[in-house]
Amino acid sequence: MERGSFFTLICFLLLVFSHLELSEEADVLAVGGLVSDGETLVSALETFELGFFSPGKSRNRYLGIWYKNSPEAVVWVANRNNPIADTNGVLTVSDSGNLVLLNRTKRVVWSSNVSGTAKHPVARLLDTGNLVLKDKKSMPESYLWESFDSPSDTLLAGMKIGWNLKTGEERYLTSWRSVDDPSPGNFTYRLDITGLPQLVIGRGLMKMYRTGPWNGIGFGAVPAVPDLVFKPILISNENEIYYTFKTVGNTINMRLWLNQSGYLQRLISDHGSNRWGVLYSVPFDQCGSYGFCGANSVCSSRRADTCECIQGFIPESQGSTNCVRESSLDCQKGEAFLRLAGVKVPDLSKFHSNENLNPEQCEAECLKNCSCTAYANLSVSDGHTSCLMWFGDLIDISEVSEVYRGEDVFIRLPSSSLGLTGDSSTRNRLIVIILVSIISGLIMLGLVVFINWRKSRKRDQSLHLTRLEGGKDEREVPLFDLSSIEIATDNFSFRNLIGKGGFGPVYKGNLPTGQEIAVKRLSKDSGEERMLIYEYMPNKSLDCLIFDHKRRAQLSWKNRIIGGNDEETKTNRVVGTYGYMAPEYAVDGTFSVKTDVFSFGMLLLEIVSGKRNRGYNHPDHRNNLLGHAWLLWNEDRALELMDTVLEESCVKSEVLREPGDSFSATRTTTMLTENEVTISILQAR
């Protein structure tokens, strides 16, 4: 019995170890092992794959790493400058402990070039996308070589771009030459450390784009994406300074890609998906192009005249975007500062920084030096600030929107440029004008406040729908004052930003009652700011259940509701979510009180069928969901549209309703609440 048990144990252990050995073969290459063209290494969780590929229309073969579910997303290339002309390439680990790529004649096309030798060298493809070479007997993260030290055109989470301060080695991204040629192209993306650290896209020695300086939580003038998605990181010590990032959670893939045209895109996808979305792209617009407006000018895409001289400056010549001072600085007559709010700070070409000065001291220090042309006080780390002072022309200033990280810059001007000097009669006249203007402004402000107060009272009376039930006043559509919403959202803090669509950003907030809300801050296209307030749904909207084949059965007929998460689309003619907009509105921009009934009807179709309207094509007739529903209705087969998981819980009389004309939303609401006939969107429009 004991001998049998011992034999069983030995067999079990052999089985386990053989399984482990087999599992290692998928992501490990040892001495004598080969990866031939057509074979691959796959990381343990099957996130990344290494093998040979031909980019675009090229027939040349390259050794690269890509996402296994998205082979077109190549993140690293070994032999960028030395393609293999046929399919006889081989990757192996040499006896000396190097990764080597050989062609058909066994000539070394590429090598890891590790100095020294390792006793038990092995190569492994990690689930981070990092190909590492190490001694099998060494510590887990003690690498002889790693692909992360030799970036191509892509930065993955955990990769570094920056400088080794002891060796002078720099890591940076280089674009491909073209979609068919991964050899180093014209553009680079690197960490500029000549001043405060900032990221720069370059073309040769020319700057094409730059971020603002690091401000402790991110780089200036870059979208302030919440930490729910990823976290930017800057490490600076005596040995190295570098930028990297990490994703939040394990549900997404993210890569920073410098394409062959010189644009940098932060791409994101769900883990396991082959669809990539653009989180943001830089340069965002022409104002993102380095120095687009010349010296001492501010670039703004919001103005008809994109480039405008700073106050106190005039164009250097007719048609020039370079600006010069209208009056030269003169320390003897006293000067003041003009505040530029929410801008990307000037480039740090001629500047001085001091981390020991507060804003008041920074201003005083700038005034002491007649060559100081501007200053700013920036956050550089938690609780620490840096006083920046510029000397000479101010280059590459641009306005940035509220979702980007802008700073306040104070421009030094002669007091004459700010209207603060002149002879006594001029000053007296100026004082009178200012006083009259202030008094007139106060009177006008009082009138505006009074008119708005009257309007708000009327609006409150019309919008607060009340009804008496049991002697109590129930408000079905409550309104909130702005101060309450500002308090609830921490003054619309970036930390509370949870999303952004075509209509504007969405913030999470907490009311004094403890209720969580979502506040959509509508875009200010009309000059007014409006907000929509929703109940915050921590578990996401229920479309996550409706359109999930495994979870949809959890919702019966009576408790099934819908909530779309498609991106809102904003065009020059219409604003809305495609797939829910009435055809006459989406195509011709024609809007009426009946338009929203179409949208409501589309939601009902999705609720009943469990299918999305957008992207749905029936295999038999290629119609979308609406067309398919109309065909079934005309053939008296409307019940076939219903989600099969609702067959037992549905009330068929509620599913089958007669189609009628398109009514207004008010009449639709009345009919639904009185249990009358449901409005159908299937009626021909």
Query: Is the preceding omega at residue 283 within 30 degrees of 0, hence cis?
Result: yes
Q: Which residues contact 317 (CB under 8 A, 6 or more apart)?
A: none
Task: Kindly report the average pLDDT of the chain as a whole number.
Answer: 79
pLDDT in tens, 663-683: 555 555 555 544 443 334 344
DSSP character string of 102-114: E-TT--EEEE---
Query: Would you say residue 474 has pLDDT above 50?
Result: no
Average pLDDT over residues 545-550: 65
Cα 563–565–569 angle (5° rounding)?
120
Picking from 535, 498, 494, 496, the residue whose alpha carbon sits closest to that of residue 513 is: 535
Query: What would the mean pLDDT of 152-181 be, rounded to a whole number?
Result: 97
Global confidence as pTM: 0.62
Once rounded to an integer, what is the mean pLDDT over residues 545-555? 65
State the Cα–Cα distance between residues 435 and 440, nearest whole angstrom.
8
Angstrom distance (rounded) from CA 210 to CA 395? 11
Q: Distance between CA atoms of 492 and 56, rounded to whole angstroms?
A: 45
436 pLDDT more than 70: yes
Q: How far apart are CA 562 and CA 558, in angstroms?
A: 12
What is the C-alpha separation between 474 and 559, in angstroms, rounded? 24
Which of 85, 95, 90 is CA-nearest to residue 63? 90
Banded pLDDT at 555 (limits 50, 70, 90): low
Give CA–CA dist 290/392, Å, rounded: 17
Q: Give the whole-angstrom CA distance, residue 272 versus residue 440.
A: 64
SS3 331: helix
What does the pLDDT look like over 504-518, one tens digit per residue? 788 888 887 778 888
pLDDT tops 70 at residue 31: yes
What pLDDT digit, counting tens, does each position of 44-53 carry? 999 999 999 9
Residues with Cβ within 8 Å of residue 528, at least 6 apart in sequence: none
Two tokens at 366? 């700038």
Higher pLDDT, 488 or 429: 488
- State how far the Cα of 255 lies from the Cα of 157, in Å rounded to an integer: 7
Q: Are 154 and 146 in contact (CB under 8 A)?
A: no
CB neighbour list of residue 310: distance below 8 Å, 6 or more residues apart: 296, 297, 298, 323, 338, 340, 394, 397, 411
Name the strand (E) or helix (H) holding 586: helix 583-588
Structural tokens at position 528: 């007014």
Contact between residue 197 and residue 74 where contact means Cβ atoms under 8 Å apart: no
CA 514/CA 502 separation, integer angstroms: 29
Q: Degrees (nearest 5) of the Cα angle 374, 375, 376? A: 140
pLDDT score at 395: 96
Measured CA to CA, the distance from residue 442 to residue 137 in angstroms comes to 80
What is the DSSP-derived secondary structure letter of residue 150? S
Which of the 8 DSSP states describes residue 141? T
Which pLDDT tens digit goes with each residue over 32-43? 899 999 999 999
